[in-house]
């Protein structure tokens, strides 16, 4: 993407009794990763890898948040189970999902279902969208994102 466009502002409930507002995240780079569902294998792998690299994201002046349509209660359990150091946002009404265009028709067990396509977005400290990955493989992805974030600081 050559042109850096900004994303419309949104607010979502987050774990830890917090509320996340995109515009309030300025001043740091931001990784927003969308994933299909708490406690599923790919989503767990991805969350653990973001967790393991989280200190390095912080060193790169970057915050990380995960987003799915699961409830806050489900998110809190998932976060506790894998000691995730970043917040998870609940997007039950698909507000952010639609802004980022991550909802897709998928085939599951021979049926068409609408769900989140695993996707990650990097927004720089000035609020511009700098990179997107869509339909990605969970394993090894967090490292790729970290490498990109580090390149923004050079």
**Distance (Å, whole) CA 126 – CA 143:** 23
Please classify residue 104 by burial: count the beta carbons closer than 10 Å to its beta carbon, then call 0-12 exposed, 13-18 middle and 19+ buried. middle
Catalytic pick among 30, 43, 84, 123: 43
Asked if 88 and 102 count as a contact pair (C-beta separation under 8 A), the reply is: no
- Is 43 annotated in the active site? yes
In the chain, alpha helices (H): 41-59, 72-81, 95-100, 141-152
142-to-4, 81, 99, 114 alpha-carbon distances in Å: 22, 19, 22, 25
Length of the chain counted residue by residue: 154
Q: Which residues are marked as active site?
A: 43
């Amino acid at each position: 993407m050559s042109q850096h466009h900004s994303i419309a502002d949104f607010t979502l409930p987050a774990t830890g009794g917090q509320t996340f507002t995109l515009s309030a995240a300025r001043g740091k780079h931001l990784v927003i990763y969308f994933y299909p569902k708490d406690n599923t294998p790919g989503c767990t792998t991805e969350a653990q890898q973001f967790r393991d690299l989280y200190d390095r994201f912080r060193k790169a002046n970057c915050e990380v948040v995960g987003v799915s349509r699961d409830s806050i209660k489900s998110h809190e359990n998932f976060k506790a189970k894998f000691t995730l150091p970043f917040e998870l946002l609940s997007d039950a009404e698909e507000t952010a999902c639609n802004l980022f265009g991550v909802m897709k028709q998928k085939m599951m067990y021979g049926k068409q279902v609408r769900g989140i396509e695993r996707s990650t977005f990097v927004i720089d400290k000035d609020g511009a969208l700098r990179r997107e990955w869509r339909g990605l493989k969970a394993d090894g992805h967090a490292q790729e994102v970290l490498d990109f974030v580090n390149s923004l600081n050079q």
